[in-house]
């Protein structure tokens, strides 16, 4: 009996991202209210919900672009209590494990695509230029843009620029990728290119948290979906169940609005 119990403890994977009672205020406004969330290694979580519900703030709190006011945030083996002011080295250790892709790609216009991907590897991981460039070229190939390495970003479409931004984030070997509406600034067809790269990434076992309005991605690629409204988690569960059979009236209203668009 004992042995079985021990084994089950060893077998259960530890969350790679864990939020416990995380709250965030802007002045008197509660943007995030007591958020509890666990993301297991290899899980793909879609976060959906109306505008202003706190989705971006949640992602920004996970990597400490915004400090939360209370609660505990763990990424990998780094745990930070939000009431405390964390040492810089711990913030760096936390952020090292996270790759972030925003709606706006923020590539450096004066650098080639290759330089854009290699620079942070040299600065933050201490890779040599040769080593970094080899990794960048590999990643460009992976996102279908091997031929763009020596171009400048202005010569690339929005969808291409977003795929470059994904390659740039991947180049730093993150444990978890955070995406904040990566396709919403793109024409639908260019969005599809980006979604294809994200689907491949999910298939490769990357842990991903994706804020998105793409219901197809949420339903077909993400294992789990979470619906947020007014700073709270309204629903969380296997994607199909949450999207097809929401339990709360607020979530049903949101999903109807999405479907009617």
Ligand X SMILES: Nc1ncnc2c1ncn2[C@@H]1O[C@H](COP(=O)(O)OP(=O)(O)OP(=O)(O)O)[C@@H](O)[C@H]1O
DSSP 59-105: HHHHTTSS--SEEEEEETTEEEETTS---HHHHHHHHHTEEEE-SS-
Q: Whole-angstrom Cα distance, residue 176 to residue 247? A: 29
Residues 48-67 that bind ligand X (CB under 6 A): 49, 51-57
Q: Is 31 in the site for ligand X (CB under 6 A)?
A: yes
Asked if residue 153 lies in contact with residue 161, where contact means CB atoms within 8 angstroms, the answer is yes
Return the closest-CA partner of residue 191 out of 213, 170, 207.
213
Q: Which is nearer to ligand X, 59 or 177 (CB)?
A: 59
Residue 116 Cβ, how far from ligand X at the closest point, in Å? Answer: 25
- The footprint of Mg ion on this chain (CB under 5 A) covers a number of residues equal to 1
Contact (Cβ atoms closer than 8 angstroms) between residue 102 and residue 58: no
The answer to whether residue 100 forms part of the interface with ligand X (CB under 6 A) is: no
56 binds Mg ion (CB under 5 A): yes
3-state secondary structure of 129: helix
DSSP structural state of residue 9: H
Q: By CB under 6 A, is residue 26 in contact with ligand X?
A: yes
Q: Which of Mg ion, ligand X, none is residue 238 near (CB under 5 to 8 Å by kind)?
A: none
Strand arrangement of the beta sheet that strand 176-180 belongs to: 98-101, 176-180, 207-211, 44-48, 224-229, 232-238
Contact region with ligand X (CB under 6 A), list: 5-13, 44-52, 78-86, 243-251: 44-52
Q: Which does 53 bind (CB under 5 to 8 A by kind): Mg ion, ligand X, none?
A: ligand X
Applying CB under 5 A, which part among 48-56, 142-150, 182-190, 202-210 lies near Mg ion?
Answer: 48-56
**Of 33 and 96, CB closest to ligand X:** 33
Q: Would you say 12 or 51 has its CB closer to Mg ion?
A: 51
Q: Which residues bind ligand X (CB under 6 A)?
A: 26, 31, 49, 51-57
């Amino acid at each position: 009996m004992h042995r079985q119990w021990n084994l089950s403890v060893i077998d259960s994977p530890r969350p790679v991202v864990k939020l416990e009672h995380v709250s965030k205020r802007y002045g008197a406004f509660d943007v995030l209210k007591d958020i509890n969330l666990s993301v297991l290694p290899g899980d793909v979580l879609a976060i959906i919900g109306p505008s202003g519900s706190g989705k971006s703030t949640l992602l920004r709190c996970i990597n400490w672009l915004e400090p939360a006011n209370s609660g505990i945030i763990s990424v990998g083996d780094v745990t930070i209590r939000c009431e405390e002011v964390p040492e810089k080295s711990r913030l760096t250790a936390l952020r090292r494990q996270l790759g972030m892709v925003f709606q706006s790609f923020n590539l450096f216009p004066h650098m080639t695509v290759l330089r854009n991907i290699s620079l942070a590897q040299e600065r933050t991981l201490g890779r040599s230029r040769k080593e970094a460039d080899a990794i960048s070229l590999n990643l460009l190939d992976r996102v279908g843009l091997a031929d763009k390495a020596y171009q400048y970003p202005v010569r690339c479409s929005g969808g291409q620029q977003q795929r470059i931004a994904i390659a740039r984030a991947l180049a730093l070997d993150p444990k978890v990728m955070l995406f904040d509406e990566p396709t919403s600034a793109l024409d639908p067809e260019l969005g599809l290119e980006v979604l294809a790269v994200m689907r491949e990434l999910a298939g490769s076992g990357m842990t991903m948290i994706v804020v998105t309005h793409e219901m197809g991605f949420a339903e077909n690629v993400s294992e789990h979906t979470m619906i947020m409204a007014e700073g709270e988690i309204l629903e969380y569960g296997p994607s199909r169940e949450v999207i097809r059979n929401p339990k709360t009236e607020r979530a049903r209203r949101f999903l109807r609005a999405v479907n009617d668009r």
